Chain A
Amino acid sequence: MIMLFSKRISKRMFPKFLVALLVLALLVTGCGTAANDTSKPSAAGPVTVTFWHSMGGQPAKTLTAMVEKFNGSHSDIQIKLVYQGSYDDAFNKLKASPDQGPDLFQVYDIGTRYMIDAGLAAPMQDFIDRDKFDMSPIEPHVVNYYKVGDKLYSMPFNSSMPVLYYNKDLFKAAGLDPAKAPSTFAEVEADAKALTKKVGDKTVYGFSQAIYGWFFEQYMARDGALYANNGNGRDAAATEALVNSPAGVEILTWWKKLIDEGYATNLGRKTADTQNAFGAQQIAMTIDSSGILPNLTTAAAGKFEIGIAPLPRGNNEVNSGPIIGGGSLWILKNKPKAQQEAAWKVIKWFLEPAQVATWTVGTGYLPINKAAVDQEAYKDFIKKYPSYQAAIDQLHNTPENRVTQGARIGVFTQARATIENAIEQVVLNKATPKAALDDAAKKITDSIKEYNQTMGVK
């Protein structure tokens, strides 16, 4: 284009044209130099560990403060903390160019399979075995989630479980015992019925939960059902999704029934919306991560008392429990040895009881080091939020097996979106629970197969 153009430019004008181009070029390059300074460690100075994370809001503040504390107390290692957007954003960025990645990377729970299959990880187990690092104080249920085979690939960091939050004051007002939260689907339904009240022209609903694929996974696990075949993809790579099993159908049938009967309301996909409704006493019970207790408490302050109970189970009694959610820390394989060793030291520091306690107190994530509960900071925290103990109890009461370990598939992000679509279809009366889940199972199975093929997983 420019060639064509310039041919027709008169000779007299040509210098001016060049000047214009030059100005443009200067604009471009003139401002580009200030950057490119930090990432490369100098030979003599401390090792810089680049740490990508996806924490926002309150957890981000806590993490920043902790990193400052680390940097202040270590002269040989400095952490460079970089926020990389949501878990998905960060994950996709790493996928786009693994060689530009960080030394230490926070990945969400369901990214585990991909990290291993893509060969990006320096297995945590190698560091643990070499240093004979004592893993016994770390909560086994948390560790088991991140184990593949008998090998730990990443170190748990921010861990949470779903719990039932309920409004004790509304329980009292409805004549229910505020000390006794519902523990089964049937009890949730009965309590929700008692709690649903019309006040003027607005309705206070007994229950609401966000349309969030994670909750579905958790109910499945609570009911002792596998999400994928081959032991949730842990005995061998999963080849088939089992979401349309009777347990899955029961969950969606119950979900829909509560809404149809008018005891629950559908507030869409965002958990922030159900949280706001709960804080504003528009709903009396909700399901959410154990990590949001401090936030809910702020919203409820001076208005009502919050109760926490384990995740309700389906109508068949079975000894099972929910899966760990959240994120873990990965050391990347393609980084220099010095960086990896420094990252390992950082991880060990984060696992110390004092740090784990600070993390729990600042964010509401589960204390993954058992010794953290003896820390003063944690003791004050549990005094302030006594109901948090229910989340810890749930963590300890969950048996260890393939179901509660959680599914290990490489296409979890898509699977979750598929399930969310299915729930929506059911809630909006566009499909029966069975039909929606059959369809979802087929879609997830297809994408698992495609993934296994492209990644060469056998």
Chain B
Amino acid sequence: MKTGLMKKRFTRFVQYLLLTIGALGVVFPILYAIGLSLMSAGEASSYPPHMIPHHLQFTAFPAAMETAPLGRFMLNSFVVSLIVTVAQLITASLAAYAFAFLEFPLKKILFLLFLSTMMIPGESTIIPNYLTMRSLGWIDTFRGLTVPFMATAFGTFLLRQYFLTLPKELFDAARIDGCGRFRFLWSIVLPMARPALGTLGVYAFITTWNQYLWPLLMTNSTSMRTVQIGIGMLQFQDATTWNVVMAGVVIILLPSLLTIVLGQKQLVKGLTTGAVKG
């Protein structure tokens, strides 16, 4: 009896130990970034590298804010990411609904066509997209930053797969009760698909937040720039002061972290519901 308990405790201990090590491995880059941001330039380049600053210094943060207007950039990134996220959720759920519940000619082929766009590397479409935006006169506007990303093959695929796991009987029952398609999507499908929507939302937000090349191409004024360009402004190819760069990284990391913390409930729910249902 007692040995059984001991054994159980031991297993538990090992499990938590492994989990802790794994967790540390995952958060290490963030911890190291925070550590570096609190060091002086000299300490940041010392060897062996210090993980924890020996002399706390907060000078890197004002230095980063001074080199690049990060506040304005964060606001821009936030607006852009939010618009793209909401738009992707709308377009992807509509398209996924069609692919999952509706019957129409060429459905399979259209879906394959949709998926095949995922195979085109984003880099190859950047210049054509840019030229289109230019001819529309959308350079240096939020439109130019958001519209090209409002439809997503990946999101459609993700939501369609999720919608397919919902029992078809729901659809039939709803129809029999006189529920229209939009009502069905809005009141039945979307609430049940919250985990998948949460996943897509977090993914869309962070992907947009991390964009670099597109905003750099699309914008010409400092007031329209986004955060990753701000990080670029802190670096310099001939010489980089890491404590300042990391201070900038820590500042712009906050919204992404917040998104994950807020979206986590949905994400975890998504994982577990999926797991139970098989």
Contact = CB atoms under 8 A, between A and B. Distances in A.
Interface residues of A, number: 68
B111 to A, nearest CB: 10
A56 B216 CA distance: 14
Given A13-B182, A61-B67, A292 B221 contact: no
B147 interface: yes
B166 interface: no
Contacts of B131: 96-97
Nearest to A295: B239
A136 interface: no
Contact of A35 (B140, B236, B244): B140
A35 B45 contact: no
Nearest to B86: A27
Interface in A1-46: 1, 4-5, 8-10, 12-13, 16-17, 20, 23-24, 27-29, 31-39
Count chain A CB atoms within 10 A of each CB in B42, B48, B131 and give the residue with the most: B42
B138 interface: yes
Contacts of A86: 232, 237
B130 to A, nearest CB: 6
Contacts of B222: 82-83
Given A97-B131, A276-B45, A280-B47, A292 B87 contact: no
B144 to A, nearest CB: 8
Contact of B236 (A32, A57, A93): A57
B108 interface: no
A60 B102 contact: no
B221 A57 contact: no
A39 B220 contact: yes
Contacts of A59: 236
A59 to B, nearest CB: 6
A269 B48 CA distance: 21
Contacts, number: 163
B169 to A, nearest CB: 21
B216 A280 contact: no
A97 B134 contact: yes
B93 to A, nearest CB: 10
A67 B234 CA distance: 18
A58 interface: yes
Given A29-B143, A38-B221, A280-B47, A57 B235 contact: yes
A301 B239 contact: no
A5 B98 contact: yes
A281 interface: yes
Nearest to A39: B220
A279 interface: yes
Contacts of B236: 55-60
A83 B240 contact: no
Interface in B147-203: 147, 150, 180-183
Q: How large is the interface on B (under 10, 10 to 19, 20 to 34, 35 or more residues)?
A: 35 or more
Interface in B231-247: 232-242, 244
B216 A295 contact: no
A10 B216 CA distance: 44
A84 to B, nearest CB: 7
B251 to A, nearest CB: 16
Given A9-B181, A291-B238, A56 B42 contact: no
A27 B83 contact: yes
Interface string B68-109: 000000000001000100110011001100100010110000
Contacts of A299: 41-42, 45
A272 interface: yes
Given A10-B180, A13-B182, A289-B238, A279 B45 contact: yes
A34 to B, nearest CB: 7
Contacts of A275: 45, 239
Nearest to B231: A56
Interface in B207-231: 212-213, 216-217, 220-225, 229
Contacts of A277: 47
B83 A35 contact: no
A312 B129 CA distance: 48
B13 to A, nearest CB: 32
Contacts of B141: 32-33, 35-36
A24 B241 contact: no
Given A96-B131, A97-B131, 12 more contacts: A4-B105, A13-B181, A13-B183, A50-B220, A56-B67, A57-B233, A57-B236, A58-B239, A100-B220, A280-B47, A298-B41, A298-B42
19 contacts: A10-B180, A10-B181, A17-B182, A24-B91, A27-B86, A28-B147, A35-B141, A35-B142, A56-B67, A56-B235, A56-B236, A61-B66, A83-B225, A89-B216, A96-B130, A100-B134, A288-B238, A289-B238, A300-B42
Interface of A: 1, 4-5, 8-10, 12-13, 16-17, 20, 23-24, 27-29, 31-39, 50, 55-61, 80, 82-87, 89, 93, 96-97, 100, 160, 202, 271-272, 275-277, 279-282, 288-289, 291-292, 295-296, 298-303
Interface of B: 41-42, 45-48, 66-67, 79, 83, 86-87, 90-91, 94-95, 98, 102, 104-105, 110, 127, 130-131, 134, 138-144, 146-147, 150, 180-183, 212-213, 216-217, 220-225, 229, 232-242, 244
The list of the 4 closest CB pairs from A to B, nearest first, reads: A280-B47, A57-B236, A32-B143, A56-B236
